Amino acid sequence: MLLHFSKMHGLGNDFMVIDGINQSVFLNQAQISRLSHRNFGIGFDQLILIEAPQHPETDFHFRIFNSDGSESGHCGNGARCVAKYVRQRGLSWKKQLRLSTNTATMQAELEDNGLVSINMGAPKFEPEQIPLRYAQKALSYGLEVEGVRYQTAALSMGNPHGVITVPDIEKATVEKTGPALSQHSYFPEQANIGFMQIMDRETIKLRVFERGVGETLACGTGACAAMVVSRLQNLTEKRVKVILPGGSLWIEWGGTSQNHSDEVKMTGPAKWVFEGQIEL
């Protein structure tokens, strides 16, 4: 099987992008894991498989697979890459696209300045929607790891997210605390864990441990989750620059603690790296 692919990234969060419309693609978890290896494979954080739309009101469907081969529900950086991919490959000439994943439907817009904006939908806070093993919704939850209690905000942006606030992002114990919180028994499907530092009312810094991957240079849904949490804590304005290790995203959300129904808008770059083919 000869597989054609493209390598893309959003702020260093890198993807193997596959056109599953014009070629038949059958990959198992072990194959995806081998392809993700940065020494013996293509190397990527996630694999994105673009498929034909599953509903008449959408233009494309895409699936996201983590580097360990597990499937994820949503990916903000990946959505921007999908929008740019289908335009540059001539699969669509629309500047506005309706995209779907297994857990979300979103509007993507290709901006004239080369950036891509994604309407990421409204955040979800009910424990059963995250999912979170907790009886009642709260602004934050005390999660204990190795005798240390972390006040963790929890929500879904198509993926389950936990967000903790830290005084210094550079000193955050992402490598140790990230996987421990991600695999906490309160998160039955594990969670992406964001470590957030508030810089001012229009700027935050963020590092994210992603389930099934590890710490990445950027996480789009993680940036949205962190911005929403900072907004609910009345620490930031409606539009925030989120500085990640790989670069910056701009997140807009007008919701409040009384009204969560506003949808989150994310704007950032999507870059093409190279194209190739590999025999499986």
Residue-by-residue DSSP string for 111-175: -TTS-EEEE----B-SGGGTT---SS--S-EEEEETTEEEEEEEEESSSEEEEEE-S-GGG--HH
| Model confidence, pTM | 0.93
Query: What is the domain count for the chain?
Result: 2
Given 108, 130, 154, 219, the catalytic residue? 219
233 and 134 in a common domain: yes
186 and 66 in a common domain: no
Given 17, 42, 75, 118, the catalytic residue? 75
226 and 131 in a common domain: yes
Q: pLDDT tens digits for 51-110?
A: 999 999 999 999 999 999 999 999 999 999 999 999 999 999 999 999 999 999 999 999
Radius of gyration (C-alpha) of the chain in whole angstroms: 18
163 and 41 in a common domain: no
Rounded to whole angstroms, the maximal C-alpha distance in the chain is 54
Q: Write out residues in the chain with pLDDT < 70, as ranges.
A: none
**Which residue reads 């409040």 in tokens?**
256
Collapsing DSSP to helix, strand or coil, 267 comes out as: strand
92 and 160 in a common domain: no
39 and 152 in a common domain: no
Cis previous bond, 127, omega within 30: no
Predicted pLDDT at 261: 84
Q: pLDDT tens digits for 160-179?
A: 999 999 999 999 999 999 99
Side-chain half-sphere CA neighbours of 67 within 13 A: 17
156 and 112 in a common domain: no
Predicted pLDDT at 1: 83
Q: Which of 38, 39, 42 is nearest to 274 (CA)?
A: 42
Report the C-alpha gap between 116 and 69 in whole angstroms.
27
- Residue 81 known to be catalytic: no
Q: Which two tokens stand for residue 104?
A: 């979300």
Q: Which two tokens stand for residue 206?
A: 């963020």
Report the C-alpha gap between 113 and 116 in whole angstroms.
9
CATH classification of the domain holding 216: 3.10.310.10
Side-chain half-sphere CA neighbours of 184 within 13 A: 29
The residue segments making up the domain with residue 222 are 127-262
158 and 174 in a common domain: yes
Residues 190, 211: contact at Cβ < 8 Å?
yes
Predicted pLDDT at 111: 95
132 and 258 in a common domain: yes
Please list, in sequence order, all residues whose beta carbon lies within 8 angstroms of the beta carbon of residue 229, skipping any fewer than 6 positions away. 153, 155, 163, 196
